[in-house]
Amino acid sequence: MSKSKITELTPEQEALIPVYVEKWRKIAIYTEPIDREKAAEAIDAAYAAIGLYKPRLMFYDSPYEGFGKLDSRLQNLSKKGVKTLLHKQYMEEMSRRSPLIRQLWIVLKGQIEKQVGRELYRLLERELRYEVSKNLFQIERQLYNQMESQLYSREYLYTSEQINRSEMNISTERTPLEEVLKLSITPETLAGSICFYDFCISVLNCTCDRAKWEALQLIVKDCGWFTPFKNIAILCDRPIKLSLDDRNLLHAEGEPAIEYADGYNLYSYRGVTLPEKYGKLYPHQWQTEWLLEEEENEIRRALIQGIGYARICERWPATEIDNWLEYTILNVKINYQKIDLLRKTSPSTGKIEFLELPHDFKSAREAVASISILNFLCEQKQEGAFRQLLSHWRWWDFEKTDIVWERPIKVSFDNQNRLHAEGEAAIEFADGYSLYFYRGVMLPEKYGKLHPHQWQAQWLLQEGNVEVRRVLMPGIGYAKMCQELRVNEIDSWQEYTLLKLHHYFEYDGIFLLKMTCPSTGQIYALRVPPKMRSAREAIRWVNWGIDPEEFAVQT
């Protein structure tokens, strides 16, 4: 008789969740140099766990040095006339996740799923995996983007049949750096999954393949940035410095947020990568004139935060939109960018503080009412909902708020504690003032007052707000989008079709994988990344890198 699945936690088990989250978060951002002997043992164990021979290890002080040296070697071979295989074959190989992690991970995932009930599994993924990974993945992404930009600027292009076939088991002709970097494994990206498995195995006593589990743990504990190929493994040391703010975003002022032993570094302010010319200076040294010169919107946003709204209002005259008591809504125009601010002037001290508002606030009274909602959610310890609502303001400059307001008469959440309501307001006050939310995203009233089944696919062609468009899509349903909007068929495989919806606000368009059930004719659809070029490639992405032919039943 099979053992019944675990469906709930004891109080003692539940109390251990934050302990495991903190344990693996600390491991992910560890800055001590790696022990090369232990790292080699960890990598050898991982390869052995999936039946591969020990790889030849190449150690480097930073990911930038590792990929730079690799590129130089590849380019030297290219200059000697070494030929390459077809680009298409390379792309098919690279579209799959690294076999090393995939083969370790998929076995453990299947074993845990058989022992933990679906609802508890999802809850633990959210409480453990997501909590560890929600901001840490950004560390890898910022490093990845900076390296890609820097290496491309030096014309790093990968070409070599000899290296690719005999040592790395991949092939390419002038392969983009992105395709090689995507094979990399970092503690930041793996730590969330390892935390989840550690809790299930250590606390819930789930059984598993111990060799694969030990190998996966050691990769996170003993290795830094790690790129596995068939016969070669590139291993880069940990950073010697990694600075985060109170929201676990990469952040440092006047110095790098990440630094490696070889001097490679990255400057970041509140999770935004900065050029060295800004990052090496403290925010109080930043110049307002830079806002006229900087073209990158995200960097301009970081500069605005660091410079401060008081200095900005001194440089560019603000237009008053509305007043209420000591509060004033201001509009500041910097070139083509408009910023709406709520200014508070203390009646007793004359101290001025600022808060940036969404563009849809025209009443100072309503803006202050919304701030009171934030205070209420904070008091009720609804941290998730608090952050959702707070995210609709760009930056909080009020050190202390003494706003007193009646509490809302209604606040609605979904099962993930996100502000949410369908066809009605998620937050409502006694005087009728209300806010509409769908899965944590604030909606205009024209959408929020209607139930999702009444939403129209045509709205997607008119809505310019990315976040709003993102929640409209699942609300409308991808199947309905396929039926009501003009889409182009890119590729088909069995009952699957890869479709592209051309969209004014989406530069690459919207790509959908449509599946038509052979027995019922029912249409199902799922959004996939825009780089997909075949239906099978899209299916592999949906199934975590596993080819559909490897499944007895496709999901």
Same domain? 115 vs 225:
yes
Q: What is the rounded distance in angstroms from the CA atom of residue 161 to the CA atom of residue 82?
A: 7
pLDDT at 508 over 70: no
* Number of separate domains in the chain: 4
Same domain? 107 vs 224:
yes
**Boundary of a domain, candidates 283, 307, 331:** 307
- Dihedral angle computed from the Cα positions of residues 354, 355, 358 and 359, in that order, rounded to the nearest 10 degrees: -10
Residue 275: half-sphere exposure toward Cβ, Cα within 13 Å: 12
Q: Does residue 249 form part of some domain?
A: no
110: helix, coil or strand? helix
**Boundary of a domain, candidates 206, 238, 270:** 238
Same domain? 83 vs 224:
yes
Same domain? 426 vs 484:
no
pTM of model > 0.85? no
Each residue's pLDDT tens digit, 348-390: 888 888 877 765 677 887 777 666 555 544 444 444 444 444 4
Each residue's pLDDT tens digit, 131-182: 888 778 788 888 888 887 777 665 444 433 334 434 444 433 334 455 566 6
pLDDT at 1 over 70: no
Instruction: Provide the pLDDT for residue 174.
Output: 39
Q: Residue 405, exposed/middle/buried by CB under 10 A (0-12, 13-18, 19+)? A: middle
Residue 468 amino acid letter: V
Task: Give one DSSP letter per residue of 22-76, joined into a string.
Answer: HHHHHHHT--SPP-HHHHHHHHHHHHHHTT-PPPEEEEESSHHHHHHHHHHHHHH
156: helix, coil or strand? coil
Task: Give one DSSP letter per residue of 289-311, joined into a string.
Answer: THHHH---HHHHHHHHHHH-HHH
Same domain? 349 vs 480:
no
Higher pLDDT, 507 or 333: 333
Range 494-506 average pLDDT: 74
Residues in the chain: 555
| Adjacency order of strands within the sheet including 434-438 | 410-411, 427-428, 434-438, 441-443
Q: Does residue 313 form part of some domain?
A: no
Each residue's pLDDT tens digit, 106-138: 888 889 999 999 889 988 988 898 888 877 878
Q: Does residue 1 form part of some domain?
A: no
Same domain? 541 vs 434:
no
Helices assigned H by DSSP within 80-186: 87-94, 99-113, 118-124, 131-153, 161, 177-181
Same domain? 86 vs 151:
yes
Same domain? 477 vs 372:
no
Each residue's pLDDT tens digit, 278-308: 999 999 999 999 988 888 878 988 998 899 8
- Number of Cβ atoms within 10 Å of the Cβ of 483: 12
Task: Give one DSSP letter per residue of 504-535, joined into a string.
Answer: TTEEEEEEEEEEE-TTT--EEEEEE-TT--SH
Instruction: Provide the pLDDT for residue 406.
Output: 57
Q: Taking Cα atoms as reference points, which of 129, 133, 179, 143 lies closest to residue 159? A: 179
Q: What is the rounded distance in angstroms from the CA atom of residue 505 to the CA atom of residue 459?
A: 12
Q: Does residue 246 form part of some domain?
A: no
Distances in Å between the Cα of 178 and the Cα atoms of 30, 57, 151, 336, 451 are 26, 22, 10, 33, 41
Q: What is the rounded distance in angstroms from the CA atom of residue 199 to the CA atom of residue 519?
A: 41
* Sequence-distant (≥ 6) Cβ neighbours of residue 424 within 8 angstroms: 412, 436, 448, 449
Each residue's pLDDT tens digit, 456-469: 988 887 777 777 88
Q: What is the rounded distance in angstroms from the CA atom of residue 221 to the CA atom of residue 235?
A: 13
Same domain? 332 vs 191:
no
Q: Are 181 and 170 in contact (CB under 8 A)?
A: no
Positive or negative torsion for Cα 296, 298, 302, 305:
positive
Same domain? 85 vs 220:
yes
Q: Are 514 and 496 in contact (CB under 8 A)?
A: yes
Element (H, E) at 438: strand 434-438
Q: What is the rounded distance in angstroms from the CA atom of residue 115 to the CA atom of residue 108?
A: 11
351, two tokens: 């101290």
Element (H, E) at 18: helix 17-28
Q: What is the domain range of residue 520?
A: 464-550
Q: Does residue 455 form part of some domain?
A: no
Same domain? 276 vs 327:
no
Distances in Å between the Cα of 373 and the Cα atoms of 368, 527, 531 are 9, 34, 41
Higher pLDDT, 462 or 277: 277
Q: What is the rounded distance in angstroms from the CA atom of residue 287 to the CA atom of residue 306?
A: 10
Instruction: Provide the pLDDT for residue 373.
Output: 56
